[in-house]
Amino acid sequence: MLEINNLHISIAGKKIIDGLSLTVADGEVAAIMGPNGSGKSTLSYVIAGRADYEVTEGSIRLDGVDLLDKTPSERAALGLFLVFQYPLEIPGVTTMTFLKAALNAQRKARNEDELSIPDFMRRVRGAASKLNIPLDMLKRPVNLGFSGGEKKRMEILQMALLEPKFAILDEMDSGLDIDALRVCAEGVNALRSKDRGLLVITHYQRLLDYIAPDSVHVMSRGRIVKSGGPELALELEKSGYADYIEEAA
Amino acid sequence: MGALLQNPTQAEQDFLARFALEPVDGERQAAAERFARAGLPSRRNEAWHYTDLRAKLRAAPPLAARPDAAALARAKQKLAPSDRLSIVTVDGYFIRELSDDLSSTPGLSVRALKADEPALKSLSRGADDALLDLNAAFAQGGVAIEIAAGAQVEKILELVALDSASGALSRFAHHLVVLGEGAHASLVETRAEGAEGFGDSALFVSLGRGAQLDYACRSLEGGAVEVQNFVARLGSEAQLRAVSLLAGAPFLRRQYFVSCDGANGQIHLSGATLLRGREHADVTLTLDHDAPACLSRETFKYVLADQADGVFQGKIVVPPHAQKTDGKMLCRALLLSDDAAMSSKPELEIFADDVACGHGAACAKLDASQLFYMESRGIPRAESQAILVEAFAAEAFDDLKDERLRDLLSADLALLLADGAFT
């Protein structure tokens, strides 16, 4: 369960998140929708532990454990995963090496044994074939020269291998055509389970047609201004965010 | 001895006194006289602007003599077994009894270098450098490795430079590698002469028409003050791929004097230099495209931690007759600390009009977004940094055709990064 309580965040003195509270239960898929500049991506970065943001008040807990004093890698080992809006390219590091380093680092942090090479390969092959990722692609440097769709599929592959307790999808639909969106969404849906919470951040209803949320929250000016069920997303698609921007002001 | 230096330093006086003690003749005499006029290079010499050897080398340690039995016994302890064909030197002297017996390897000859081997002078013609002169005046007892025309030596040849552990010495080494027409070989130079004293070594390489040499220099423990010279000439259609891994260098200058003498030659010079503490390393190369249609690629990477100081100078000369030259030079530095410094100076001298020559230089820190991405996958910060540094540096090894040499350098690099000094 992810619990965010009265979170306040500034960057270079400017307030970005202003008293945000949100709870996402195990097995729940929560969506956050909001206009540009409402602080959605900042929220995902802060939960994952990116530096440069100053948390002035509030708390973020995953299964009761306070995340704010943990490094990004410690948060990952606790079961947190972020699907990046813009996945990074890492020249010189093959995807295979990267995946192995990530898996084994998390296992080490949890006092588990490293995976044997055959076991690792078996897992990678299984997960890659489900996402239509050819193994040749995994021999190339991480995300280097990949299309937008390939990069996002690679994010979902990582998620499938790392089996997080809680995942944040930061505008997963950006840069994807319809077919790529479907493949990625199917990949995410396959990872839905009663133990795993998901926070889906998006501008558009479209993504939620593929990944059906249990709850929808509207974010504006750094806080949640309205919460509801899936119908709220449909309503937003019709009326836009204008009402909420005024409300928050 | 002609017009002597004004106000010689202690080190210059030491070297000059030794010339006087031990009269030399021929080319050695001429080189000694040139040194007596020029002295040690300092900031005032354009080519040595960033590496002030004259200021750094206060006094010259005693000259290393041919090692005795006790010295050889000490050196032998440092010799690790390998499946490569070892050619061992101690304090610069070729030691046949510590080397592998290569007499039965077809096409390969390993012999003591003659006192006044004419090839050395011929290979370094046109190179005007005080440290080459000093080397020519003092170096003796080197080795000549010759590969016959058309021969292909399958196993890796390894030139292992050990020291006698006799305290601080001045070591002068000169060795010759000759590949006949169409010959192929892979050569590793493993430098392990310890951290004491002064070193001025030179490797002379001659590649005949169509010959191919893959060469890797592993220099992981430099002397207190050290100069390494690499002098090579290529015949037409010859290919040289020379890659260095430099680390553990208190004060190192590695200089390349390379010339394409025939058309359609290919030269790849690359290197990764990793420095920490107050280490200083300078890679300076002069590449002479003295024939048409040759290709050259230079890729030098630096990883600088703490207060380390990196220098790269690359000069490419393309005379009027070298049409269709294709040259690209690149120097990239990764600064891991605000106190590290990098000086990079590319120089292109192009006198031909139908050529493609370019160069680039960049300095950067590790990318914060890449680091966060890796950490968010559970890879701790130090490990993430090590992975990024390794990827950055290892790119310099890609030019080697012989995968075994690449693996050797990669393994050295991994060991170097394992203790966390470059994160």
Q: Where are the domains of chain B?
A: 67-365
State whether A90 and B379 contact (CB < 8 Å): no
**Domain that residue A208 falls in:** 2-248
CA-CA distance, A220 to B6, in Å (whole number)?
77
Average pLDDT over residues B110-115: 94
**B55 C-beta neighbours (distance < 10 Å), count:** 11
Determine the residue of chain B that is closest to A87 in CA distance. Answer: B373
Q: Mean pLDDT across chain B, nearest whole number?
A: 95
State whether B381 and A98 contact (CB < 8 Å): no
- By the 10 Å C-beta count (0-12 exposed, 13-18 middle, 19+ buried), A8 is classed as middle
Alpha-carbon torsion (B110, B115, B117, B121), positive or negative: positive
CA-CA distance, A17 to B149, in Å (whole number)?
74
Q: Which two tokens stand for residue A97?
A: 């090496």
CA-CA distance, B408 to B396, in Å (whole number)?
13
Average pLDDT over residues B281-293: 97
Q: Which two tokens stand for residue A16?
A: 């970005």
pLDDT tens digits, one per residue of B309-344: 999 999 999 999 999 999 999 999 999 999 999 999
How far is the alpha carbon of B395 from chain A, nearest alpha carbon, in Å?
Answer: 7
State whether A76 and B378 contact (CB < 8 Å): yes
State whether B378 and A106 contact (CB < 8 Å): yes
Contacts of A160 in chain B (CB under 8 A): none
CA-CA distance, A76 to A82, in Å (whole number)?
9
* A131-135, A167-171, B385-389: least confidently modelled range: A131-135
Interface A-B, measured as beta-carbon pairs within 8 A, has a size of 80
Alpha-carbon torsion (A105, A109, A113, A119), positive or negative: negative
pLDDT at B356 over 80: yes
pLDDT tens digits, one per residue of B227-248: 999 999 999 999 999 999 999 9
The CA-based angle B62-B63-B67, given to 5 degrees, is 115
**B227 C-beta neighbours (distance < 10 Å), count:** 28
Mutate one of B330, B365, B371, B376 to test the A interface: name it (highest A CB count within 10 A): B376
pLDDT of residue B3: 58
Average pLDDT over residues A176-183: 90
State whether A73 and B395 contact (CB < 8 Å): no
pLDDT of residue B1: 46
Per the CB < 8 A criterion, the answer to whether A228 and A216 are in contact is: yes
CA-CA distance, B213 to A42, in Å (whole number)?
54
pLDDT of residue A135: 92
Contacts of B390 in chain A (CB under 8 A): 92
Average pLDDT over residues B13-28: 83
Distances (CA, A) of B241 to A37, B30, B208, B299, B407: 52, 32, 14, 11, 15
Report the predicted TM-score, pTM, of the whole model to 2 decimal places: 0.93
Strands B326-335 and A2-11: unpaired
Average pLDDT over residues A231-239: 88
Per the CB < 8 A criterion, the answer to whether B158 and B192 are in contact is: no
ipTM of the complex as predicted: 0.96
| Residue in A82, A97, A101 closest to B376 by CB | A82
Nearest Cα residue to A105 out of B390, B389, B72, B375: B375
Contacts of A90 in chain B (CB under 8 A): 370, 373-374, 388, 391
Q: Which long-range contacts (CB under 8 A, 24 or more apart) does B17-22 make?
A: B18/B60, B18/B63, B18/B138, B19/B137
pLDDT at B116 over 60: yes
How far is the alpha carbon of A233 from chain B, nearest alpha carbon, in Å?
Answer: 29
Per the CB < 8 A criterion, the answer to whether B295 and B324 are in contact is: no
The structure tokens 């307790």 sit at A165
How far is the alpha carbon of B397 from chain A, nearest alpha carbon, in Å?
Answer: 12
| Residue in B376, B379, B391 closest to A92 by CB | B391
Question: How many domains does chain A contain in total?
Answer: 1
Selected residues 378-417 of chain B with any CB under 8 Å from a CB in chain A: 378-381, 383-384, 387-388, 390-392, 394-395
pLDDT at A1 over 50: yes
CA-CA distance, B404 to B155, in Å (whole number)?
10
pLDDT tens digits, one per residue of A88-130: 999 999 999 999 999 999 999 999 999 999 999 999 999 999 9
pLDDT range class, residue B122, cuts 50, 70, 90: very high
Amino acid at A118: P
State whether B381 and A91 contact (CB < 8 Å): no
Q: Which two tokens stand for residue B385?
A: 């940094």
Determine the residue of chain B that is closest to A76 in CA distance. Answer: B378
CA-CA distance, B113 to B142, in Å (whole number)?
5
- Please provide residue B80's backbone torsions phi and psi, each rounded to the nearest 5 degrees: -95, 140
Distances (CA, A) of A91 to A133, A146, B300, B406: 19, 12, 16, 18
State whether B378 and A105 contact (CB < 8 Å): yes
Per-residue 3-state assignment (H helix, E strand, C coil) for chain A: CEEEEEEEEEECCEEEEEEEEEEECCCCEEEEECCCCCCHHHHHHHHHCCCCCEEEEEEEEECCEECCCCCHHHHHHCCEEEECCCCCCEEEEEHHHHHHHHHHHHHHHCCCCCCCHHHHHHHHHHHHHHCCCCHHHHHCEECCCCCHHHHHHHHHHHHHHHCCCEEEEECCCCCCCHHHHHHHHHHHHHCCECCEEEEEEECCCHHHHHCCCCEEEEEECCEEEEEECCHHHHHHHHHCCHHHHHHHC
pLDDT at B2 over 70: no
pLDDT of residue A242: 82
Q: Which two tokens stand for residue B353?
A: 């009009």
**B78 C-beta neighbours (distance < 10 Å), count:** 15
Per the CB < 8 A criterion, the answer to whether A88 and B373 are in contact is: yes
pLDDT of residue A204: 85
pLDDT of residue B194: 84
- CATH no. for residue A8? 3.40.50.300
- B375 interfacial to chain A (CB closer than 8 Å): yes
How far is the alpha carbon of A244 from chain B, nearest alpha carbon, in Å?
Answer: 32
pLDDT range class, residue B292, cuts 50, 70, 90: very high
pLDDT at A67 over 50: yes
pLDDT of residue A248: 53
pLDDT at A246 over 70: no
Distance, C-alpha A134 to centroid of its chain: 24
Per the CB < 8 A criterion, the answer to whether B175 and B90 are in contact is: no
The structure tokens 């080795």 sit at B143
Nearest Cα residue to B305 out of B332, B278, B343, B330: B278
Q: Which two tokens stand for residue A178?
A: 């319809």
